[in-house]
Amino acid sequence: MSYRIEHDDSKRESFAEYKYRIYRGDRLIACYWHDYRGDEHGIEFLNGRKEPWPVGRMIDFLEGDGRHPLLSQRAVAYLESNQG
């Protein structure tokens, strides 16, 4: 099953977190965030489970740029092991 991530385009404050939606196929499975510098990041699954620092640093989870993010191979492996 393929995963994709989309930038959440909702309005944000200057130093607020950047937010993303993660889909497995067409189904939303989680929301991902990182702070404005990329120092901290976390994920919240739709079942309510939250986890800070899902894989290393933010740049280990996301590739591409902020408007066109891509999940890294480590992120996909993390999602596979946490979604079954």
Q: DSSP of 17-78, one letter per residue?
A: PEEEEEEETTEEEEEEEE-TTSS-EEEEETTS-EEESSSSSHHHHEEE-SSSEEE-HHHHHH
pTM of the predicted model, to two decimals?
0.88
DSSP-based three-state secondary structure for 18? strand
pLDDT along the chain (84 residues), means of 10: 86 83 95 89 94 91 84 95 74
Closest to 41 measured CA to CA, from 54, 23, 22, 28: 54
The pLDDT value given to residue 1: 66
